[in-house]
Amino acid sequence: MNHKRKPMHVVAPFIAFLTILSVVLSACGGAATPAAPAATQAPIEEAPTQAPVKGAPLQSIGEGEGEVSIVAWAGYIERGETDPAYDWVTEFEKETNCKVTVKVAATSDEMVALMNEGGFDLVTASGDASNRLISGGRVQEINTALIPSWNTVDPRLQNAPWNTVDGKHYGVPYQWGPNVLMYNTNAFPIPPDSWNVVFEEQTLGDGQSNKGRVQAYDGPIYIADAALYLKATKPELGIQDPYALTRDQFNAALDLLRQQRQLVARYWHDAFVQMDDFKNEGVIASGSWPFQVNLLQFEGEPIASVFPKEGATGWSDTTMMHIDASHPNCAYMWLEHSLDPKLQGDLAAWFGSVPAVPAACKGNELLTDQGCTTNGMDQFDQIAFWKTPTADCGNGSMDCVPYHEWVTNYIAVIGGR
């Protein structure tokens, strides 16, 4: 792809898991009937007025309120400050008079915490946050009839379980992609094809051990990466869904992560810190986002990525609207704008993701006509997309380990316990 990328602003600090966990678990009015007139006059009845039901979808879009605030992943909302070729904010602001402000979040847990605090209109939530936001009543149903470009969205995403509940849509799909295995080509003269290079101690192609030279993601959802690896390498465990783990399956994943703990140089959540570690701290392999791969390659670093044979976890992000959004009209204007094919293609080129609008895959100078294939368009069915683990195993059993236990146990793993 013909990408022009440079590093952006620093990603917001990570919010402690326990703090996040505590926040995560967290009328109609009628007009008075007028007094009856004189007895000789028939009573006049007024139809009662009804206040909008909290969380009900907007029925019409009015004049913009002048601004819209968005919680987003790094690189998701660009206004050309890093590279003028990547700007999907400036024109929107000119056309709508809605000024865009962005709060960058480093993890899904941070996004949930910020939306619980309030004060934001929209969030680009991944599947491991979106269902928590829906069940927690923090986001509102979207009226897709007010989104003219809705029908251009990839049908695989329109009714996805991470944004649609009981037939109600709680957001507009934005981008999706895999968590790839990023590696240093000097350490791997032959590209790796398995996640074993980050889970099991071994001597690499450069003659050195991988101990102290790999990273793992600093989020409880990473337990699913271990489970996905075990699904392929230990079929006797019977893992079907890496997000729906029985107690024995969950414990096996934790054991693998404790083993990995002896190899990990850093648990990363800041994309730019991870890139610096690959450049300056001797890190040679880690699960990562295509975003980091693309930026490091742009800088001339010896970096590449692969989609390992065991498959990969991944993310499908949805732009969701806060239940108490202060700027709903501007928010709906942004939801429609977010599906613009040029925006979708430019963002996919910048981030290394796949557009939610397939039409964006053709005719975009930055992405090129091969960009969607390069970024994983054909791997949709091989990606285990992030979702929030619950006790419901999905087969009528309630024996699976819920997310709050993922949080506490992953904290223990990182702490060496």
pLDDT at 38: 34
Question: What tokens does 314 get?
Answer: 């991944």
- 396 and 247 within one domain: yes
- 150 and 248 within one domain: no
- Tell the residue number behind the tokens 């990273």, with chain if given: 215
Distance CA 338, CA 152 (A): 12
The strand pair at 214-217 and 264-268 is best described as parallel
Total count of domains within the chain: 2
Which letter, b or e, does each residue of 71-99 get, where b requires 16 or more Cβ atoms within 10 Å of its Cβ? bbbbbbbbbeebbeebbbbeebeeebebb
> Domain with 324 in it: what CATH number?
3.40.190.10
To the nearest 10°, report the CA torsion of 153, 155, 160, 166.
Answer: 100
Q: Do the beta carbons of residue 110 and residue 143 sit within 8 Å?
A: no
- 235 and 192 within one domain: yes
- Is 262 within a domain? yes
- 99 and 201 within one domain: no
pLDDT at 399: 96
Distance CA 416, CA 156 (A): 40
10-residue stretch averages of pLDDT, the chain, 417 residues long:
37 37 38 35 36 73 97 95 95 98 95 97 96 96 98 96 95 97 96 98 95 96 98 98 98 98 96 96 96 92 96 97 97 98 97 96 96 92 94 92 97 91
- 190 and 211 within one domain: yes
- Is 268 within a domain? yes
- Is 357 within a domain? yes
- 274 and 186 within one domain: yes
- 203 and 166 within one domain: no
- Is 404 within a domain? yes
Beta bridge partners of 185: none
- 403 and 351 within one domain: no
> Domain with 269 in it: what CATH number?
3.40.190
- Is 167 within a domain? yes
* pTM confidence score: 0.82
Domain membership of residue 240 as a residue range = 180-288+388-414
pLDDT at 28: 35
pLDDT at 231: 98
Distance CA 77, CA 83 (A): 13
Q: Do the beta carbons of residue 389 and residue 132 sit within 8 Å?
A: no
- 58 and 159 within one domain: yes
- Is 11 within a domain? no
Triad 100, 102, 103: Cα angle to 5°:
160
- 402 and 375 within one domain: no
pLDDT at 53: 64
How long is the chain?
A: 417
- Is 13 within a domain? no
- 128 and 265 within one domain: no
Residue range 148-198, pLDDT digits in tens: 999 999 999 999 999 999 999 999 999 999 999 999 999 999 999 999 999
Distance CA 25, CA 19 (A): 10
HEC per residue, the chain: CCCCCCCCCCCCCCCCHHHHHHHHCCCCCCCCCCCCCCCCCCCCCCCCCCCCCCCCCCCCCCCCCCEEEEEECCCCCCECCCCCCCECCHHHHHHHCCEEEEEECCCHHHHHHHHHHCCCCEEEECHHHHHHHHHCCCECCCCHHHCCCHHHCCHHHHCCCCCEECCEECCEEEEEEECEEEEECCCCCCCCCCCHHHHCCCECCCCCECCCCEEEECCHHHHHHHHHHHHHHCHHHCCCECCECEHHHHHHHHHHHHHHHCCEEEEECCHHHHHHHHHHCCCCEEEECHHHHHHHHHCCCCEEEECCCCCEEEEEEEEEEECCCCCHHHHHHHHHHCCCHHHHHHHHHHHCCEECCHHHHCCCCCCCCCHHHHHCHHHHHHEEECCCCCCCCCCCCCCECCHHHHHHHHHHHHCCC
Residue range 340-374, pLDDT digits in tens: 999 999 999 999 999 999 999 999 999 999 999 98
Distance CA 89, CA 51 (A): 34
pLDDT at 394: 86
- Is 243 within a domain? yes
- 261 and 202 within one domain: yes
Question: What tokens does 341 get?
Answer: 């094919």
